[in-house]
Amino acid sequence: EDGVISETHYSLSTKACRWMSQDQVEEAIAVCLSSQRPQVIYGDWDGVTPDRYFAAFDDDMVTEELPDREVSIGLGIDHGEDVGREVALLCAFERHPKRPRVWFLDEYVSQGKTGIEADALGIVDMLDRAGLGPEAVDEARGDTNTAGKSAAGYAINSLLTDAVAALSGYPEHSPPFRIRPAKKGPGSVVYTSRLLHAAMVKGDFVVHPRCAHLIESLRHWRGPGGDQANRDLSHALDAARYIGRSFLDTRSAGVQSLRVR
């Protein structure tokens, strides 16, 4: 505004970015979240507030299709005390350096104020519905914001790990898997949402009809913040983001793969 610094704005195009093909430009526009396109793609100062954050989500992505290839198994968990605020998602992932693919297979959603044991039982039952034992889980990520269930997220993840082990007949010192803290930080909500959105755009995102809570959130969430109804939709998406980052971020290291049967 003071004229001290000049501004130069370019929209993303093959003319502005001559090292990119038209196909690459179109793909970059497609995978960019609609809320970020004015700034990221067109160089505008101001973004927009879309009616729906995940504009690429389509009901065609809701299917009973199951993986028919080698996959990794993941659990994403968002901790909370009240009804619907403890959410665990069971996922299958195919790692690929450019086209990772995700299947959301099932969900556990608390029906009331729950404790560690009830949540552990819900997770074990969810695995059982998929025909999987807890030893099939390659990676599990849990929130570090416990919403009153524990003084520290690291503690609740450890307590839930121990409870799952006890229910499954494993000794505490050798659980079938460990719930590690989710990777969080400035910008992580947008970044991990972009990972999910990119998978949707590329056709690499599948949700089983059993994941009713997740589907509702994908259809109607308007982004971070908002009224209470919108914030209530975020819990399933938080669980999806926590585990999605571990598998969809192609910069991450690989994990051992198992086959879903």
Looking at per-residue pLDDT, the higher value among 194 and 226 belongs to 194
Q: What percent of the chain lies above the pLDDT cut of 70?
A: 88
Rounded to whole angstroms, how far apart are CA atoms 2 and 163? 61
Answering whether pTM is above 0.85, one says: no
User: CA of 107: how far to CAs of 39, 132, 207, 234, in Å?
Assistant: 35, 14, 10, 14
Rounded to whole angstroms, how far apart are CA atoms 41 and 25? 9
Mean pLDDT of all residues in 104-122: 90
Residue 15 CB partners (closer than 8 Å, separation 6+): none
pLDDT tens, position by position, 1-54: 787 888 788 889 999 899 999 999 988 888 887 777 778 888 877 665 567 889
pLDDT tens, position by position, 147-166: 555 545 558 899 999 999 99
Mean pLDDT across the chain, nearest whole number? 85
